[in-house]
Every structure is written in C-alpha cells, then in structure tokens.
Amino acid sequence: HKDGRWVDILSRANAIFNENGEAIRVIGTHVDISERKKSEEALNKQNYYLEKAQELGKIGTWELDLVGNKLVWTDENCRIFGVPEGSVVDYKIFLSKVHPDDREYVDSEWKAALKGKPYDIEHKLLIGDEVKWVREKADIKLDDSGKAIGAIGFAQDITVQKQSVEELNRIFELSPDLIGFGNVTKGYYTRVNPAYKIFGRPLDEF
C-alpha cells in the first residue's frame, strides 16, 4: 500500500483475444482480502493450539458422516489407534484395532448408540503386540425423523491410568498388611485384602 502497509490481495484476470487468437487486452480485478487472511491465520493458530492440547492430553477426535459414509480422524486419533496420520479410515479399520476380547462388546455398544443409547465406553486396543486402553465418547447426530446421520466422537488413551490402577490392585492383593476400604458411618469394611486372614475370622465378619 502507498502508506507502507502490507495488504493481501486476491487477483483474477482473463485475456481478451482478437480473431487471430492474439491477446489484445486483459480484464482483471484485485480484491483486498487482508481481513480474511487474518481470520484464516487466527483459525490456523487455534487449530494448532487444539492439536497440541490433544497431543498432550492424548485425546483424539473424529467425525462420521453416515449419509456420505465418510469417517475423518484427527492426527492424535490416528496416533492412538496406530495408523499413519492422514490415513483414510472406516469402521472396519477402527474395529480391527479393537482388542479381540472387546470387539463384540464395542460393536454392540456402537449399534446401540445409533438407536439412542449413550456411547461412553472403555475398552482395549491391540496395536501390534501392544495392549492399550481407551475411553470413547460420542454424540450422535439425528435428522428430523430421528434417524442417525452422523456422529462426533472423542477417544482418550487411558493406558497409564489403567496400569496405575492395576498396580495398586496388585499391591492391595499381595500386601502382608491388612488394607481395607470401609464405611465409617456404618462401621464396616466394604472391601479388604487377603491379609484379613491373620485375624482368624471369616470375611463376612469384616
């Protein structure tokens, strides 16, 4: 700009030809798109922040178009499920990543979700030889007749949390000291570890 500012413009032009096919004139337009570029840059920055937040929290997102039969995963969702970023995925690929022990359960829960049941589940994945845990949640989109036409979902890698719980349970079960969870108000245990046997009393007395 003549005042020293830089502006973004969109230029379009078409040539006018004579009867001999020679270009004799060009008609064009220049449009100031500075504000649009600023909006795009702001959106790109927000997308960058969102992507980094997903990476840090190990939370992936996905969107499903049931009418167009199209499933889109974010990069973090691809990382969680062990597929290359930007891969073209579908329900069959998703189900193949679910641990065989949980595959029938996940499939039945998804089919139930399409009929109105809330979709909020935890299950295992089998990525190569690695077993991972994920929590999945989805909101189903319905048309005016109540038919499912799409969904937006989230998947969080909760492997570390599950491993911590398993380690605590192992300590609970193997500890030589009595460990118990109790109802203080009513005065009894709701759960005790095997060390209760050192008192020589049956479990139901605890």
Q: What torsion do the CA atoms of 175, 178, 184, 190 make, to the nearest 10 degrees?
A: 70
pLDDT bucket at 55, cuts 50 / 70 / 90: low
Q: What is the pLDDT of residues 16-49, one digit of tens each?
A: 999 999 999 999 999 998 888 888 887 777 766 5
Give the sign of the dihedral formed by CA 105, CA 111, CA 112, CA 117: positive
Q: Say yes or no to pLDDT of 57 above 90.
A: no
Residue 1 pLDDT greater than 70, yes or no:
yes
Q: Residue 52: is its pLDDT beyond 90?
A: no
**DSSP character at residue 204:** G
C-alpha distances out from residue 73 to 70, 86, 87, 89, 135, Å: 10, 8, 8, 8, 16
